[in-house]
Amino acid sequence: MLTLYTMPGTCSLAPNIAIAWLDAPVDIKNMAYGDHKKDAYLKINPKGKVPAVKFDDGDVLTEASAILSWLGASYGNGEYARDTKLGRKEAEALSYMTSEVHATYGGHFGTANFAGTDSAQDEVKKKTYEKLSGQYQRLNDNLKDSGGDFYLGKRSFADTFLYVLTRWIEQTPLNLADYPALKSFRAKMEADEGVQKALKRQDMEPLG
């Protein structure tokens, strides 16, 4: 059985939602926080991060955007194909969200990796939140320009990762209310049955 490894609060929620939307035959193994650093999981993904998909033949695929691309190609019936306009734009959006916005969160989740003293860490956090503010404004404007319901005007896997980002903002000094299109989007996503199913499988709750 194909298995997706997840952990509460992480971006593994994005492929979890995609699996629910596709009704793909992928088992979800939700680990307790900390299990990703234990030997049993490190044998699956030496990077010690989620998500990861383990295949029946023992092969392992990591990185959320790569897993989302594989899910679309394998179970999307052509809807998420990269040779379509939606597929191309989805790849672009996911690249921005994962390599830019997610990467910026390194200054929040792993501040000590960037600075040693308290004052230096405060400066890192300040710069991180300034950068995130601009990135969330861009996401909000793009969503609004696309009609507000879905990031690309039509449901795509970009929405699964965007939903993760609308949750993470609650851990920062930023306020989702300052980005009304994103706030409305999060509410719509949390009314979605697939999102609700994925949250439950990952021991998470809607934020409202």
- Span 181-194, pLDDT tens digits: 999 999 999 999 99
Phi and psi torsions of 62, nearest 5°: -120, 175
pTM of the full structure: 0.96
pLDDT given for residue 27 in this prediction: 97
Give 7-10 contacts, CB < 8 A, sequence gap 24+.
Answer: 7/31, 7/32, 7/33, 7/35, 7/36, 7/50, 7/202, 8/33, 8/202, 8/203, 8/204, 9/33, 9/204, 10/50, 10/51
Average pLDDT (137-155) is 97
- What average pLDDT does this structure show over 74-86? 81
Q: Which of 7, 60, 48 shows the shortest CA–CA distance to 30?
A: 7
* Tens digits of residue pLDDT in 81-131: 777 888 899 999 999 999 999 999 999 999 998 988 989 999 999 999 999
Predicted local distance difference test score (pLDDT) of residue 23: 96
Predicted confidence at residue 1, as pLDDT, reads 83
Looking at residue 84, its pLDDT comes to 84
Look up the CATH architecture of domain 2-78.
3-Layer(aba) Sandwich (3.40)
Second CATH level (architecture) for the domain 85-192: Up-down Bundle (1.20)
Confidence class of residue 79 from pLDDT cuts 50, 70 and 90? confident
How confident is the model at residue 133, as a pLDDT?
98
Write out pLDDT tens, residues 10-67: 999 999 999 999 999 999 999 999 999 999 999 999 999 999 999 999 999 999 999 9
Q: Is the pLDDT of residue 80 over 90?
A: no
Instruction: Give the pLDDT band of residue 207 (cuts 50, 70, 90).
Output: very high
- Please tell me whether residue 52 adopts helix, strand or coil conformation: strand
- Sorted by where each begins, the domain ranges of the chain are 2-78, 85-192
Report pLDDT for 35.
95
- Residue 77, pLDDT above cutoff 90: no
**26 pairs with which residues across the strands?**
2
pLDDT of residue 175: 98
